[in-house]
Structure 1
């Protein structure tokens, strides 16, 4: 992990990650001060060098006014560096020692009206300053409002520099409609701050709040958020309602207007007991001693009640585990949230809640909880492991690898972490390193069936098919009911042209899991190859019957119909597959073949090219396009396609196809 460097910044650990963006903790290799930095990586929407240059120029323009403003007021945190490396953009700022508001504002936990008023006053003072300089923040959310260690609020991660280099900006729950439609106003920031205030007062998540728009009368353009059970100052409710009005023209027009209204109720919000004590103190100064005793007694009360609260939090956590083990994940989350509201530093509760969110497919919340667990217990290897898997399932493979590295550093015998890192390395085509990780996982746990399965898949894809069979055999020996292992072994037998063995494995999969659609499709393909058209058709029909939205089933049935010379039927199936999933390169390639059969050369060329666009490693699509270009006498382009196909066939170990592509090139070469 410590060897990963971008520009001059050595990456220490992953702080957070989501689709298209990652934030790392780093240090400057050119400094010896030990200063920490946040290095934020963006995947730009285009890799075109001209567009990258334009983005960089726009970034320079956007950063300058923020730099000037941050020099005048340390509550505005801006970039200290930005650069482009390997066609990714990086924005660097100093790491702020403190806590973001998403550690103060927690789901299921509420702040009182006075606390929220004070928070709004602090943030609005900063917004007043930046708005006066013509700058809209555009990315107001709890994670970007940090309470520094000295107690001051700091605004960070302004939206404009991010917009310059990426199409990922902010979080939609905090964005008003005009900003979503790229027309941000100064009061767009006020709207976002209002949503944060509602979160703090109600304990609801932002997504829950923005979903509570008035459904009865859309013309009202309001968010209904304050049921009677919340004890909230009614004057504060009115102010927040105006802050979050859906029509920006009916919202507060400036931070100054909100500040003025808040200051009025802020004066009236003084605690009545405090006012009474102040009056008594002014009349009898000797009461000071009594007040000190009262404070001391309050501390003693906390001392006696705190353990009981922590015990209750532990009971709630235990109840949550019970729900989790019964796969009742929503109920588990509720119990873990209650435990966290009592003990905001309950690392295990964050970890378990993150696991429950992961099971529900909410990978972003799972990442957030794993990050909270890590903050509360930086030596929790399992928290790094959990966050890594959430990153993996959102496609953030490099970020996942960094977290797996940390988990392994903390626990060198963590077999699951090696396995997870192997999966991530496989996704970024580091097959040798992936195999090494899976070997290590198996060495630690010789009965780790999924590790054998994944190693078998990699062995098959790197032309080590007999080794792959051995791995699948081992996985099945460990777990005789491992349907996926039978399925992958069947696929491998199929590539070895052992059709009957493949059919036997696919049939076993269906016996173990009658809803395994891919097994029906694979067995149908084998039936077709073995000359059993009736059985093949029945399996294709079964797959489509189980899921009429399965594009893969239509693709395979289309291929079957094509072989049966039912070109119109095949075309219909390919069209349906593309309608269901327009990102399937196989559907375009196969439809190209059907168009070619019907003499539609232009449409065939378009489909082959689309297949290659979707999958630049699609050897068969290059080969087919090469054949078509040969027929069209486009010899240089045909040679180029056959060469691309040959290179890929060689890499994947398809020797016969590789030699065929070379012979095509030889025929076309003078």
Structure 2
């Protein structure tokens, strides 16, 4: 391979190949020292343009989902992905270490302690993966690497290509033939038929555990595959409880198998009293964007205001992300919540009624424990997963909630509600495409589910597709003509596409429906300001301030409008009021600093811009920090600004 892949990656050697494609070790020529990375190739179909187009859409979507997994320290980062020469490529971080398959060559049988340690380490990684709504699909010794730098296991080889291969290959049989090698013993019966579940990964890991504990060869293991055969443990000296756990992990029937990685971890923890296991690595989760944080590309900003949940929809909560910035008018805010469904149809199922009673009392910890006990006794109780997910959601345990809603979906419990809540969480975790997919599932299951249209529109707007967002809001309003939130969201999307008259009309309709909703006045003010109706905008901000004098945002926006009118002193007073109500309001410091510059009060301008740089740096907003330092450079003396 003489040429550079993607005009960047220099071929070093081939690491493996099959009918689906090849895996190469390459050097990244765009970085100093040409660091090594791994490129995985999938050959794309060339005989059907529609199949090719579909495959590329699917591959790009899956690659974006895989990016989020790089937040975990034991999963290689996805560095890049691209299409070239009738192939699709994934570029991953190269991990230096020894794969488990190599270890097995020199040590085919492990001690019980070693096996339990490996199971726990991999299960904690899988709990993270599954909480993101992804299935690995290729758990096998060659994809577990003991990293040289810290001796920790790293999980590689995510089966994105195997998942999509059935749609790319000419037939399912061709795909299965491509997978027929020594790794087939680790593939669960249902995955072999193209129906992978989350606990398909648990089956694969269970087979590895049996292999390590028993020392059996791949040929011997193949006789166990897909059978409720426990003969492997004959002569094996190990804790009977560990053997029971492994047998449950590899149960041929998915319903008899463990459903969750965390459930296996809980059982394993009982083997070593006092040892805490099963906790997700939450510190590696990307932080949520703070409300009011500035976009990185702009120099001057205008704030829009969040929309509150609607009282008229007490059985549902709306995700209303709206983002507005000066020049593009984009607002992002979430009013995320959960849906409380009646448990009156549960009959005499006392524990579920007890749990709901705790919820009504506000005792979420006790409710969580009750649902967990129900799940432990009845792991197929999808309703318990759904309601436990709602509690995790309320307690802001987002990964755990995602896992529970996913399990409820697998068990076909509260399907439309489970997809809806999972969509809300995926959005909050930054998985926009996953959120859209879930809201779309809700709409297909129940075309009259109004919140799904509103939320899908909000995500589309967040992605910059306001035209499609308007269609969703319009559909919601056709189903529920008095839905103020849909008018308010559509108001902002109309403004984003430059139609301020329609934006003002929609915000006015939202005001007519909720005359005391200060948010609607604020957002109408934004549209009026963009239309150069500065006096009308100030009137709207004045009403918003009277409705909520402690909200800093309308003061900030009124200050910007006063600057438009040439009233720098009035603007400074408004920015100061905003800062008094929100001392870490970076935008208010920034705009007050600019106002001081207009007034030629350099010392005060420097102080405000240095404060902006400090706040933006602490929030990790590079563009905001650079804007502040750029303005400081225009002043005669800037002092020392450090990130």
Question: TM class by shorter-chain length?
Answer: 0.5 to 0.7
Aligned-partner Cα distance in 2 for 1:63–1:321:
47
The one-character-per-residue Cα deviations of 1:368-418 (angstroms, maximum 9, x if unpaired) are: 121122122256101001000100111101111111111111101111111
Q: Is the 8 A contact 1:457 1:488 kept in 2?
A: yes
Residues in 2 aligned to 1:435 and 1:21: alpha-carbon distance in whole angstroms: 32
Q: How many residues align?
A: 422
Match of 2:551 among 498, 516, 521: 516
Whether the aligned pair in 1 keeps the contact of 2:416 and 2:442 (CA below 8 Å) is yes
Q: Partner of 1:447: helix, strand, or coil?
A: coil
Aligned to 2:630: 592
Instruction: Report matched runs for 1:21-40 at 5 Å.
Output: 21=69
1:150 aligns with 2:243: no
Answer yes or no: is the 8 Å Cα contact 1:379–1:410 preserved in 2: no
Residues 643-662 of structure 1 aligned to structure 2 (within 5 Å): none
Question: In 1, Cα distance between the equivalents of 2:254 and 2:364?
Answer: 38
Q: How does 1:55-454 map to 2 (within 5 A)?
A: 55=91, 58=94, 76=140, 94=191, 100=199, 124-127=209-212, 147-150=249-252, 197=269, 206-207=278-279, 311-323=349-361, 329-330=364-365, 332-377=367-412, 380-454=415-489
Does the Cα contact within 8 Å between 2:266 and 2:277 map onto a contact in 1? no
| Equivalent residues of 1:351, 1:370 under 8 A apart | yes
Partner-residue secondary structure (3-state), 1:412? coil
In structure 1, what is the equivalent of residue 68 of structure 2?
Answer: 20
Is 1:564 paired with 2:599? yes
1:157-179 Cα distance to aligned partner (Å, 9 max, x none): xxxxxxxxxxxxxx9x99xxxxx
Which is further off, 587-596 or 76-85? 76-85
Larger relative contact order (C-alpha < 8 A, sep ≥ 6)? 2
CA distance in 1, matches of 2:205, 2:268: 9
Query: Contact 1:554–1:577 at 8 Å: present in 2 too?
Result: yes
Q: Name structure 2 gaps, 5 residues minimum.
A: 1-49, 110-137, 144-156, 169-178, 180-186, 219-245, 284-344
Q: Taking structure 1 as reference, are residues 312 and 205 closer, same or farther at Cα in structure 2, changes over 3 Å only?
A: farther
| 1:485 aligns to 2:510 (yes or no) | no
Give the Cα separation in 2 of the matches to 1:350 and 1:523.
47
Q: 1:335 to 1:482 in 2, by over 3 A?
A: farther
The one of 546, 558, 568 equivalent to 2:581 is 546
**RMSD value, Cα:** 5.6
Task: Sort the Cα spacing of 1:393 and 1:76 in 2 relative to 1 into closer, same or farther, 3 A.
Answer: same
Distance 1:410 1:152, change over 3 A: closer
1:163 paired residue number:
none
Distance verdict in 2 for CA 1:556–1:438, change over 3 Å:
same
Tell me if structure 2 keeps the 8 A contact 1:574–1:588: no
C-alpha separation between the residues in 1 aligned to 2:208 and 2:94?
27
- Separation in 1, partners of 2:140, 2:381: 31
Q: CA deviation at 1:515?
A: 2.9
SS in 2 for 1:395: coil
Cα distance in 2 for partners of 1:359, 1:373 equals 17
Aligned-residue offset at 1:473: 0.8
Secondary structure of 1:361's aligned partner: coil
Q: Mark the CA change 1:425 to 1:567 in structure 2 (over 3 Å): closer, same or farther.
A: same
Structure showing the higher helix proportion among its residues: 1
Contact 1:561 1:570 in 2 (8 A): yes
How far apart are the structure 1 equivalents of 2:282 and 2:554?
A: 42
Q: CA contact under 8 A between 2:76 and 2:94: conserved in structure 1?
A: no
After TM superposition, the score normalised by the length of structure 1 is: 0.51
Aligned-partner Cα distance in 1 for 2:508–2:456: 23
Q: CA deviation at 1:506?
A: 1.6
Q: Distance in 1 between matches of 2:266 and 2:414?
A: 36
Residues 146 and 374 (structure 1 numbering): CA distance in 2 closer, same or farther, change over 3 Å?
farther
In structure 1, C-alpha distance between the alignment counterparts of 2:217 and 2:604, rounded to whole Å: 65
Instruction: Map residues 604-643 of structure 1 onto 2, 5 A cutoff.
Output: none
